[in-house]
A and B are shown apart, each in its own frame.
Chain A
């Protein structure tokens, strides 16, 4: 498996529900970043969490990082139809020189 794998691959929920996406990685990281991509568009940066941090919040987003398990989760609370998008985690590997390694993403669909 590759660095930065998201789980699940696809998620369909109702508006108002919470959405949780997970990301696992294999090697030591400097930081982990979550991005959103709407169809046909570029990536929008959501949250960066550093290796010495365990949790960060931004609005309805909550990101956790467990370096012992090499995993991260993104929680979107009170989801909205506008949250429908693909979500990617990207790792900045230790010694990797700032380049990001992306997973294949989770496709989130929020239905009315």
Chain B
């Protein structure tokens, strides 16, 4: 079955270390997104990519970096410059062009990052 896989589900890192979160999709979607969710909050957009080798900053990109070398993969690196990295991170994909995507955005199951 097609879907989005995020790994790992739980991640613990020491303060000051960079960490990379994996996101892989086999839906043949062109667009991919990274969101951050904090307790009791809605989702906030970190980065998004509409096509391979191209990506744009979202609303809270500072302290994060991404790459899009393959259509299927959109890894997110949380750098030491991110002041408050502990959060729930969600990856999503969609069909970006044309009319409204019939199924909107498909989300992964998330990675919970805890920095100690």
Q: Do A and B form a real pair? A: no
Chain A residues at the B interface, C-beta cutoff of 8 Å: none
Chain B residues at the A interface, C-beta cutoff of 8 Å: none
